[in-house]
Structure 1
């Protein structure tokens, strides 16, 4: 997976498919999987996928509603006309991303927020790529936070032991949330972390 991604042979999403196919081939060659087990895996994958897609559909409808209501244009105008420092701007932006990550999926959050903040951030002197890296880390951090952190629900759906509660999963995510917030602070404080491949 990592060799294919860093080598430019496929995207991270495609890498997941390649890894799943590779695991299936290895299990087949070792005769450790049967057609009945393959069918069960496909059915369980369908259950998890449908659950996630329901969340994605609801989030997409919500983002479209905001767009049609003109919320994004209004907020963009307010930000552009306000007297705000880059540090305060990024701090508020990350907090909003974390809050949205509790109830929406990553795609919808990006579609809602980036059009609003891109122009004001450039006016404040922030590099768009720098902002993009901060956005991705903060959005993924939000997906690990309760009450509706999407990533935690994915983990819950993939577990065989149903005795493990969402509360336990969120507690296990807490150290990762802290480290990702530290990563956001470092990327903001040292833009070279995000921009060095372009230099």
Structure 2
């Protein structure tokens, strides 16, 4: 059975030949359905928890590399739906976009995630919602996502992985401006409805 083969290349990183055939067969057929196979995410988490920290770092680096070259299709649905009442609710497309943002900041491509999250915030401008309904809960999740993304940005910046510092600063400033636009819009109909308070603080109090 073929095994993983690697050799050093000019930049010092291993060049992967191919994945073990049987492991590749497992990965190709793994499914979240536990009636078919054991949950692959559980297997992956268990493996990473028992491996050296360098293994997790290598996985994150590989994920960042693929994100750098991945051009996802836009979600087929909108992010929010306006109901007959005039109030809005989250559409199925929202979770797909948030999943992409979470994957980005989760592997350390945090500044890239800001553009995704900014688009979500921008889509809320002009909408209306109840202060304690499903839409408000969805917006609270977005607020939390932006806060976590900013923390990941700090780690990315501190690690020296940021290749274009100017672009990083522009991304931070841009999402800050969009959050302010959302706040201005909310103040026109209900200033207490502004949903991105933690995100606003995270952006305002980090100067780079």
Normalization by structure 1: what TM-score?
0.28
TM-score by length of 2: 0.27
Greater strand share, structure number:
2
Q: Relative CO higher for 1 or 2, CA cutoff 8 Å, sep ≥ 6?
A: 1
Give the structure with the higher percent helix: 1
